[in-house]
Structure 1
């Protein structure tokens, strides 16, 4: 087994949850965990794999250096998010942790190395001019996915707009 050039645990910056109701989840985090300020992105479309997309509601907030993400799958190729949720009642479920990769070259190298090791890539996309991302499936060993993200300068500037809580 080859060793990865970059550990998927370096640069951890986000903990993400999926939910059946983004508004209710935001309210829950505000009252239960003192995270009242969120950037809400409603009905955004992301690339899930080449040629496939899904639509979701997303909310982002920082607590210290860690970014929290709430994702409500809405439609399209969203099974990676939806599969963790019940069909009827309100729920919030841990989904993934995400690392921020400093350079696009490191991002590409890590993607290639993980794929060469046979790690299953379940999301693989980009937001044109903003970010590239892929998710690897570690549910059998870690119980969750890992997201690997590289942001362009414009993408990093967008992340600077995410509200900060508890500072």
Structure 2
């Protein structure tokens, strides 16, 4: 259902998928504010598209509680990186999840 990546540069990551993989259409959002556990906030730059039934998501952590995204990236943000973050599947029931 979903393939998610993290990056240090959303614009460049979108270009990689467009130029190298032929993924033409992306919706992108800058400084999207997300609530986190408790009363925290995370700001991300976000890209989203569909390739057939697969949702492709690219996240660039910006500020706030973004460690879950930043953990896979190099410490130096001036180095471009594009890394796999997670794969999600849609399940139809809790029984399917339990299996």
TM-score normalized with structure 1 length: 0.52
Which position in structure 2 is the counterpart of 1:36? 24
Which position in structure 1 is the counterpart of 2:85? 95
**Structure 2 alignment gaps of length 5 or more:** none
Q: Deviations over 1:87-114 (max 9, x none)?
A: 23100000011234669xx6xxx7xx8x
- Is the radius of gyration larger for structure 1 or structure 2? 1
Select 2:13's aligned residue among 2, 6, 25: 25
Bigger relative CO (Cα 8 Å, ≥ 6 apart): 2
Matches of residues 10-159 of structure 1 in structure 2 within 5 Å?
13-88=1-76, 89-100=79-90
Q: Determine the C-alpha separation between the residues in 1 that align with 2:68 and 2:36.
A: 9
Q: Which runs of 4+ in 1 moved over 4 A?
A: none
> Cα RMSD over matched residues?
1.8
SS in 1 for 2:41: strand
Q: Determine the C-alpha separation between the residues in 2 that align with 1:102 and 1:47.
A: 26
**Structure 1 alignment gaps of length 5 or more:** 1-12, 114-167
Count of matched residue pairs: 94
8 A contact 1:27–1:36 mirrored in 2: no
Q: Determine the C-alpha separation between the residues in 1 that align with 2:92 and 2:31.
A: 28
Cα distance change, pair 40–96 in 1 and its aligned pair in 2 (3 A): same
TM-score normalized with structure 2 length: 0.86
